Structure formats: C-alpha cells, structure tokens
A = this chain, B = another copy of it.
C-alpha cells in the first residue's frame, strides 16, 4: 500500500516508535522463519482473488454465508494439502472465513478422534477417505440435555450378538445430539459418543462410527433425523447440528476399538488406561490459548488504531480535539490488553513445551504428568477465555458506537471468543477443577465439614470462594510466566524496555482492578495510591509506542476484517463504502414502503 494513502495520524504514530517493530514481530511469531512462513501463506491465500468476497461477509444471509464458507473452506483445504502443520490450516481458514467453517470439526475433532480411537484396521478403512473429504465427519458428543457432565449422556449403543451389530438409539428428547459442528448440513459420517451396553451391563461412554447421510445424494439414512440447530450469536458457518437416532444399526466393527473393545460374543475388553483421554482434551485447550491470543491481538489492533485516528473532545479547551488515545481512561482500557496478548503468547509457548514433554513421557509409559497438566490447562482455559472475551468487549466499547457495527469486526471477535467460555468445558466447572490448593477457600470447606456437612455439600457451599481463589492463582501463574518470557527473550535493550513496561502495567492493572484478591497478602489503601502513580507514569511512557505495539502483531487487513482497524487507518472512508453495500441499500426505496408505510401515509392525508 502506498504511503500516501495512509492516514497521517498513523504515519506520525509509527514514526514515534522507540523500538524495532520487526524485531517484536519475530518474537511474537516465534522466530524469523515463522514470520517468513506466515507471509508466504498470506501470499498464497489472502492475495488469491478466489478468497475475496464482494460484500462484507456479515451482510450475507444465513444460507449465503453457509454456501460461501463451504465453497471457500473446501478450496482452502484442497490448497492446504501442501501444508504440514494443522494449526496453519486452522489459522488460514479462520483468517479468511472469520465465522468458523462447516468442516472445522471434521479436521479438528473427527480426524484426530479417528487417529486416537480407531485401531489400525479401522484407520486403513476410513482415514484416507476422511483426509480427502470423501468422508466428512462430525464428532457427536454433547446432547440437548447434557454438556460438560459427560457421564450423564443418554444416547445408547446396545450390542446385539446375534447380528453382531450395535443398535444406536436416542431414547428421549434430552438425548438428541446437539451442538456438534459440521453436523447440521455437511457431514455424512459422525463419531457418536454413546453409553455402551452389552450383555445387559453398561460400560460407559464409547465412540462409534455412524454413517448418517447417503454417499450418493446426501439425504439422511433411515432412522436418522438430522439438521442445523439454528442461528447463534456468532460462528455462523460452524454448521452446528442435531442428530436423532432411531434404533440405527451399525456393524460391530464400527465401534472405535483402539482402546476398549467388544468381542463378537459381546464380551467387553477394558482399555489399558483412563488417562489416555486427557491428551486430546489438553491439546484442544492449549490450541484455544493460541486462538484467544490471536483474537485479543486483533481486537487490540483495531481499537488502538481507531483510537489514534479518532479525534473527539478537548483536554484543554480551545486546544483542538484530541486523539482519543490521548485520554488516560482510553490508555488504561487498551494498553493492559496489549499486555494480555503478550502474556497469552508466552503462556502458549510454555504450555506447548509442557504438552510435548508430557506426550514424550506418555510414549515411555509414564502417565504422571498428564493429570496435573490437565488441571493447569482447565484453569487457564477458563481464565484466559474470560479475560480475552472481556478484553475484546472492552476494545469494542472503547470504539464507541461504531464498535456496535458488524463491519467493525469486533462483535464477531467477541462472539467467537466468548463462545469458548461455555464450550470445551464450561468455565465455572473448569475453575472448580483447578481449585485444589488454596488456603482460605479450603479452610472454609474444612470448617463446614467440621460443622457436620459432608465433604461434597461443604465443597458446594464454598464454590464462590473456590472460584475466586482459583482465579487469583491462575492470574499469578500467568503473570509469572509472562515476566519470565520477557526476561528470557533474546532481544535488543530498547525492545526489552518497552516489553517490561507493558508487563509491569499488565500486572499492576490486574491488582488495581481486583485488589480484593490481594488483601490476604497484606495490600492496603496506601499501596493503591502508590500504584496509581506508577500506572499513570507507565501509561504516559507507553503511549508513544501504542500503535507500533499493535502493528507488531502484523495482522494482514484481511485477517483483521475491520473497517475501523485497517493498516491505512482510513476509517471513515471504509465505513461509508461498506454502508453503501448494506443489505437494505440494495434498493433506494424498500419494497415494504409500498406495502405498509405508503398506504398509511396516504390514508392519513
């Protein structure tokens, strides 16, 4: 983009940077080569005209949006066969489609589940078809009546030894599979999680491969009722569906038998270990951290650039209107969130290492690290999804009314992120899983037990404090990791200085917003006064670097997909051009005028 086209406010901001933006980009990407690779992918995908949309995606109807996403994601996955890292494909797809895709679950859950739960024979049968998308699959676990509590699922798979088949059945309304992505209109197969019954006994939840739609014409097979669950706050193209099974029969060999098995005679063979299942859950949660970092970074980029372009009101009367980024209240909203992006990046890098280590241990037969990693990742998933969602909403509100427009890109980022507060383990449940080692809350539990309550009831009556304690612990853990990430980075001094400032601001902000958590550590009113002065100073020092800090995330305009946040800062031009394309502006006079308003006006003449 020619420099001449860039908003002069942004040019001035960029010239004021005290550090090398490129250096920070490399650090955030995880190295020079990763940045190069990202740029390559951007050339390959973002600059391919096939992936452009004529009008903003948010203007499409549900049906148009589904078709658009289906077409594009199939092209992406075809083109992406050359890629090795599934995270790359996800990132590319997300940054082109923005509202999830109809084959997301196919690649993120169906294929990995096949790898994790199907034995060699089964993988030979299904895997290559799945990878070439002859088979498109969903992962059908959650039911209308059951989410986080997996043991409560009601769908049944009853073994019939005479015909050597399983009978899959959803016995009532609340057992209908509900939410699985890719299921609504796209998948022709599903891995269905069901209570396994054989010889009159229930062995708990196991995975079964069920073909749900015809390979000829895509119509549902007999006994199967399937469809989409309807519009949501976001993720329009995720194709979330429902599935009702009416005594559907599948061959015995369709139970995924890498771990547990059922013999021809109907005998149940136990898996070697329960803990194996932790692996996938942990991996998904680690990937979520990456997504939170990506989304909050995009929201910060949009809000900070907009705040540099937008002028409103005066600090000193008669001195002219200020960039809203000059207001302390605005800096206090946005700069700690840029810090949160860094904290999440650092945490993600660290967890990925821990995960790889745990996996190596696992292959050596050592399962000890997984449960702890599972607890950490539970707490982090809850805390980071909560902070990222709140942070994105703060960015959106910091853009004033314009952030309410879909073309700002912020409502979609919020919806996508806040969805993670309730999926992959509802956050309250996650906090409680992580709440195992904290002083006061546990004291309360013990006190209640001493007063005669059972351990379980006492635990329930202490949930509020356990969650607060859990949150405080994770905040501390995240901050500590952030600090050592900055300390240990191989970077120049000017950059380290900026990053340390941001890190300090992030931590002080965390305490200043929730001082209650630190009362137990002796925090007093006078400490807050002192902190207020330091925060004021840090905000002032970081102000000149604000735009450069978000530039360093180096998001392609297509990745941001925001009229407010583009690199060139031409906010009002983009908003106006987008408005001209709005669905209701297809005609000058809306057809309903002739039906309703016109006749009324004339009758009252």
A373 within 8 A of B: no
A134 at the interface (CB under 8 A from B): yes
Q: A152-B321, A432-B329, A598-B218 are in contact. Are A585 and B404 (CB under 8 A)?
A: no
Question: A457 vs B316: C-alpha distance in the bound complex, in angstroms?
Answer: 7
Q: What chain B residues lie within 8 Å of A134 (beta carbons)?
A: 601, 604-605
B575→A457 contact, CB < 8 A: no
A121 within 8 A of B: no
Residue ID in chain B nearest A406 by CB atoms: B231
Q: Determine which residue in A129, A525, A573, A584 has the highest number of CB atoms from chain B within 10 A of its CB, and name it.
A: A584
Residues of B within 8 A of A242 (CB): 576, 579
Closest to A398 in B: B428
Within 8 A of B (CB), among A545-574: 572-573
What band does the interface of chain A fall in when counting residues whose beta carbon is under 8 Å from B?
Answer: 35 or more
Residue contact A597 to B136, C-beta cutoff 8 Å: yes
- A520 CB within 8 Å of chain B: yes
Our pick among B231, B427, B540, B589 for the contact of A582 (Cβ within 8 Å) is B231
Mark the stretch among A88-96, A359-367, A415-423, A482-490 that contacts chain B: A415-423
Q: What's the least CB distance linking A246 to chain B, in Å?
A: 14
Residue of B nearest to A67 (CB): B592
- Inter-chain CA distance A374–B580, complex, in Å, is 38
Q: Name which residue of chain B comes closest to A235, CB basis.
A: B404
Return chain B residues, CB-CB under 8 Å to A592: 66-67, 70-71
Contact B422 A604 (CB under 8 A): no
A137 contacts across to B, CB distance below 8 A:
none
Q: For A315, what are the chain B residues with a Cβ–Cβ distance below 8 Å?
A: 456-457, 460
Q: Is the CB of B576 within 8 A of A144?
A: yes
Whether A227 and B397, one on each chain, are in contact in the complex, defined by CB atoms closer than 8 angstroms, is no
Decide yes or no: A426 and B407 within 8 Å by CB, A457-B316, A583-B231, A601-B133 being known contacts.
no
Q: What residues on B are CB-neighbors of A600 within 8 Å?
A: 74, 78, 133
Number of copies: 2
Q: A151 to B300, alpha carbons, bound, how many Å?
A: 29
Q: A148-B400, A328-B462, A588-B219 are in contact. Are A573 and B173 (CB under 8 A)?
A: yes
Any B CB within 8 A of the CB of A230: yes
Q: Is the CB of B401 within 8 A of A422?
A: yes
Neighbour of A401 across the interface among B66, B147, B186, CB < 8 A: B147
Contacts A230-B405, A422-B403 given; indicate if A132 touches B397 (C-beta within 8 A). no
State the Cβ distance, A469 to closest chain B Cβ, in Å: 11
Instruction: Assess the B444–A596 pair: CB atoms within 8 A.
Output: no
When distances are taken between beta carbons in the complex, the residues of chain B under 8 Å from A582 are: 227-231
Interface stretch, picked from A14-22, A57-65, A160-168, A277-285, is A57-65
CB distance from A288 to the nearest CB of B (A): 15
Residues in B with CB closer than 8 Å to A444 are: 529, 532
Q: Contacting A579 at CB < 8 Å: which of B227, B440, B464?
A: B227
* Contact residue among B404, B432, B464, B529 (Cβ-Cβ distance under 8 Å from A232): B404
| Bound: A520/B527 CA distance, A | 11
Nearest B residue to A72, CB-CB: B596
Smallest Cβ-Cβ distance to A225: which chain B residue: B580
Interface residues of A in 306-364 (CB under 8 A from B): 310-317, 321, 326-330, 332
* Contact for A62 among B219, B440, B584, CB less than 8 A: B584
Query: In the complex, are the beta carbons of A572 and B67 less than 8 A apart?
Result: no
- Residues of B near A588 (CB, < 8 A) are 219-220
Given A232-B404, A233-B406, answer yes or no on A219-B147 (Cβ-Cβ < 8 Å).
Answer: no
* B406 and A230 within 8 A (CB): yes
> A61-B61, A185-B593 known; 8 other A-B pairs, CB under 8 Å?
A74-B600, A148-B313, A173-B573, A174-B572, A328-B464, A329-B463, A397-B421, A516-B528
The 6 closest A-B pairs by CB, nearest first: A515-B516, A67-B592, A230-B582, A149-B313, A329-B463, A228-B584
7 contacts between A and B (CB under 8 A): A63-B590, A134-B601, A230-B578, A327-B463, A462-B536, A515-B515, A519-B523
Which A residues are closer than 8 A to B by beta carbons? 56, 58-59, 61-63, 66-67, 70-71, 74, 78, 129, 132-134, 136, 142, 144-149, 152, 173-174, 176, 178-179, 184-186, 188, 215, 217-220, 227-234, 242, 310-317, 321, 326-330, 332, 393, 397, 400-401, 403-407, 411, 418-419, 421-423, 426-429, 432, 440, 444, 454, 456-457, 460-465, 467, 512-516, 519-520, 523-525, 528-529, 532, 535-536, 540, 572-573, 575-576, 578-586, 588-593, 595-598, 600-601, 604-605
